[in-house]
Structure 1
């Protein structure tokens, strides 16, 4: 940061650039947007990519839960704070009109991934109201879809992962041998927001069985899927799969030992860690991965009030379809930030 001393307009006070920087970075996003109008110096500081990065690091801190909100849709785009759900407010739509199929597909660093119709997508920062539109490969609403949205720090690029499955038979099982006309096909693609290009991921040895948003931990999206078996192997294994945004490959991490195809569970994030709520006949259990990527699943049920635990994620079971979209794509957790969806030096993570 610059070491020079700057004089505030209409004031006898002299504050260094660094002090002003440290004061402003602690303010909420909406206040900063107003502060940009105070003077050219403050506007310059708040628009600086270093400031945007520092502010994003602050709001992404797990201790700043008051800056984290849930965004709901439909029928209104509504934001709810974690600390006080009664303090919600509605957003004006980022476009003139959405179709009845509009969905909330993901969130990363204050940017919201929206989907509309069969191939139209948006990156939207609801705090700054900046919006970016892009197209994707066409799909049918009857398909099963998994979405993920994250930031690749190695290339400074936000990326969208889209997995689509078309099947004519029972979800999770291979086609019956006695049926002549059966099909089951899955395609996986990644969109690089920096290059504005879609790329097909050739190696996808898994089977998705439900519409879901990727659960983001350690900067990458995670899902629970079936491992794809071939030939006469009838085994059905559930696995935790994540997408390595840098290598653009799907990889696995260890499961809790109870996770089998007949398990009933919720999968999501609790206090920054991957979490399961395991629903058994006797009681619900809360399991977290203590050390990311390690076989460190721990039952913390005795340490928490299970009835009050709320994890960010999706529930297992059959998808319920509504006329305005599937229930798994109507809400997302996000932070308020200054990150731009348009690219350039201020679209940072």
Structure 2
């Protein structure tokens, strides 16, 4: 077959066909897509409020309008309520986070997902310390958590409020208590719904000479709100001396185990609560524990006030107050048997209850999962958490520890 010359009619027709078709194809590929429909602002808020906090932090870079919306205090409140609801339903994307105080090799905060611990044979635990927080403060312990904020006690002198999700922290002023030999300070942290504010409480306990000779411990109480940012003296309470532990936040109250006047550490303590709205103290009625009680630990379980009651060498009973302030609402949830000598180590108050009914708690510096239905134990492998001094839970939120802070 003879190939046509470039000037031949056959070549020209093919070439013309090629030249005509190229612009048409290019025109088709450059066709402008139809504009996206404009969504009502209410629908955008509804969609975004159902996303995890970490995703929303990234979405603030999408546009100025997104940044303004996601930083708006009303949106943050709406998102917080959605996160609380979804975390209670054990949604994996909104699982609570365990914050672990560890002493190996140095005092550090570490974290992992509750959902991962429950559902995976192994969980990687990561260091939670924020670089700026770590370089600035040497914190002693986690006072507590509320709405995604962690309260850290700093050398019994002041506290830092920190949101690990947004990485924003706020140092509250110094307490200015005059330290004395044998004195100590305990803190509590919670939310006052009446004024929509977060408050920290400090109880300074010190020894003084009594009028009848000898000595006794007395208390000095101060409270600091996030909006006011200064410590105010409030009336002292005469219920006794609080244990050297953080206050447990339940239903707008901070609760402490308190040794009665003239008692000892081995005495049966009472529960005293500070109402964050009224700023007054009140004793809380306890359940009927029965005979043989050896030791008790106060805590919070599923937003209920909780007491872990140990019976020497036998078991630990878990009591919860289903309706705060109502004595008849105390309910024994379950008992946990001891598998070895409980004199040296005790179970912690359970951290949480999984959807299947299993409970997560700490024993002898490691985590244990117990199933009250069949009495079986599981020992989750938590890589990076060889020891646990204390553990707490927090949710991932956009709540800021700064007043009117939108960054």
Bin of the TM-score, shorter chain as denominator length: 0.7 to 0.9
285 and 77 in structure 1: CA distance in 2 versus 1, 3 angstrom threshold:
closer
String of CA shifts for 1:93-147, please: whole Å, max 9, x gaps: 3335255553322221111112223524211111111121222223649534332
Q: Please, what TM-score do these two structures have when normalized by structure 1?
A: 0.77
For 2:187, the equivalent position in structure 1 comes to: 147
How far apart, in 1, do the equivalents of 2:127 and 2:89 lie? Answer: 22
Q: Pick from 112, 118, 126: which aligns with 1:89?
A: 126
Per the TM alignment, residue 333 of structure 1 is displaced from its structure 2 partner at its CA by: 1.9
Query: 1:68–1:81: 8 Å Cα contact kept in structure 2?
Result: yes
Q: 1:79 and 2:107 equivalent?
A: no
Cα gap change, 1:284 to 1:114, in 2 (>3 Å) = closer
The answer to whether the 8 Å contact 2:202/2:221 transfers is yes
Q: Distance in 2 between matches of 1:13 and 1:344?
A: 33
Aligned pairs for 1:35-46 (under 5 A) are 35-46=59-70
RMSD: 3.7
Deviation at 1:330, TM superposition (A): 5.1
Going from structure 1 to structure 2, the CA distance change for 1:286 and 1:118 (only over 3 Å counts) comes to: closer
Question: Partners in 2 of 1:161 and 1:261 — Cα distance?
Answer: 34
Separation in structure 1 between the aligned mates of residue 60 and residue 134 of structure 2, nearest angstrom? 27
> Aligned ranges for residues 252-331 of structure 1 at < 5 Å?
252-258=283-289, 263-281=294-312, 282-295=314-327, 296-301=329-334, 311-312=350-351, 331=391
Q: Does 1:67 align with 2:58?
A: no
Q: Does 1:224 align with 2:224?
A: no
* TM-score computed with the length of structure 2 as normaliser: 0.67
1:156 is aligned to 196
CA distance in 1, matches of 2:224, 2:291: 32
Does the Cα contact within 8 Å between 1:208 and 1:226 map onto a contact in 2?
yes
**Residue in 2 that maps onto 1:19:** 43
Contact 1:205 1:227 in 2 (8 A): no
- Which of 142, 166, 187 lines up with 1:104 in the alignment? 142
Contact 1:94/1:131 (8 A) holds in 2 = no
Alignment check: 8 A CA contact 1:151 1:158 kept: yes
Unpaired runs of at least 5, structure 1: 1-9, 170-174, 231-235, 316-326
1:105–1:310 CA distance, 2 compared to 1 (3 A): closer
Are residues 76 and 212 of structure 1, via their aligned partners in 2, closer, same or farther at CA, if it must alter by over 3 Å?
same
Shift of 1:338: 0.8
Structure with the higher fraction of residues in helix conformation: 2
How many equivalent residue pairs?
315
Distance 1:70 1:263, change over 3 A: same
| Alpha-carbon distance change, 346 to 332 in structure 1, aligned in 2, over 3 angstroms | farther
Answer yes or no: is 1:49 the counterpart of 2:111.
no
What is the Cα deviation at residue 160 of structure 1? 0.5
Does 330-339 or 255-264 show the bigger shift? 255-264
Q: Is the 8 A contact 2:100 2:388 kept in 1?
A: no
**Radius of gyration: which is bigger?**
2
**2: CA distance between counterparts of 1:161 and 1:113?**
11
Q: Which has the higher contact order (CA 8 A, sep 6+)?
A: 1
Q: Say if 1:106 and 1:51 are closer, same or farther in 2 by CA, change over 3 A.
A: same
Shift of the 88–18 alpha-carbon distance from structure 1 to 2, 3 Å rule, reads farther
Contact 2:317 2:332 in 1 (8 A): yes
Aligned CA distance change for structure 1 residues 183 and 268 (closer, same or farther; 3 Å): closer
What is the rounded CA distance, in whole Å, between the counterparts of 1:138 and 1:328 in structure 2? 30
